[in-house]
Structure 1
């Protein structure tokens, strides 16, 4: 039974926002790797492939996204992405959540391929003690369950932040301390720190975003409705029930939700359900009938029709095509 607006209003708005972001992050099954931590002497340039080109290195398929990040510990670099030039100064960090290929450079030089740099088959410019030396920490977040995910539809293709700010400083400081020291438990701590870095970047974006899904999370009444959808996707949601959870009139709720989130409340419910279905098909042994019932569908055929409309193939075929793979673990 939906909670009344009066009961829901006793719940802190920040808690609803945190729960929505937490459920979204958890559903992505984030992991990460550091692939480079080195000082380079100018000039140099490296071409980084798009997510699909990197997927074989990480043992994942097209249902995952490789989000490359670059943290400048010392010096400065330029990133060329999608026809734009993004300067990154000391303490700057960028993450390519859109999964696009890009070039990272200091000065002008013939670009090396990232795969060749990682394999050690090409010489890289060593530091020469000049001011234009650059120390980089480069890695990747692997987002494993991206199907129909609202967070990825809302986050910028390139997200920039200052690694010296607040939570980011704590996480990047932990990364820097643990890398290369070989202390007991370092591998475990690095894995957790990379997950925290990804989450901290997205939380920092949430705090300053004025558009889309992230903006909706900052609106207490909409965040309340989103939290309930994420917590109980199989409920028999209607616009009226969600408006009651939000404590708004039906028309005002529908208007505000669509304006902020970018789609109607029921379209969002369906998309979140289908994303949950993809995750259940991949990570559990539950039957399609059980998954359909869990997500509020009266019959497997009705569920299958909606699934195919959103995903492009029937649930059984989608499940057959998913093959979990071990992660690539580069030397650091």
Structure 2
């Protein structure tokens, strides 16, 4: 499948800027990271603030106005190709969305910008293609997780993502609650009612899965695995593992 990146960059405006109405010949993806602007797509006007995501396709009528006397920042991407066509068709792509400004997503965008700046002969089109795919898929997930059709409240999704990222490190329930801007009691109740596990139970589930993979595919000692997967000590890891699987970590490893 073909992919072509026409332009990928970041803009920061301190003065007014406007682009008159024009018909797009490629896909335009734009994410507002600070300040605000006013977008008009197919005669539908929408103000974009921090976290505002714009997804437009070839043939859309597009115009933008950025008022002066502010700091307005945005990432933008112009692209086309058969892979983008297929990605666009497979799920609903709302023109305007409000998403969480996740640092991992922004890092993907920055990496793609840098790759596209390389001089001719030094660029890696394969790498750019994978970065573009990863960015589009990450944006698709962000739109889905913040959309009205998701069965769970968005704060629960934010807590899930925080736990998944920090499960093998030491963290407190207070840290998880703070990631979703909730009190500890509200976070604990909401998480359990939506996920069916407590915050700690979900973290232990991830730690056990990680430990099993390390027992299968590495030669690390069980004590090292216990520490590496967030259990702290081997006795605690042994107790949790045996309660879950009915055998000790050592017995499990020998069976493998």
TM-score by length of 2: 0.41
Larger Rg: 2
Richer in strand (by share): 2
- With a CA cutoff of 8 Å and minimum separation of 6, indicate the structure with the bigger relative contact order: 1
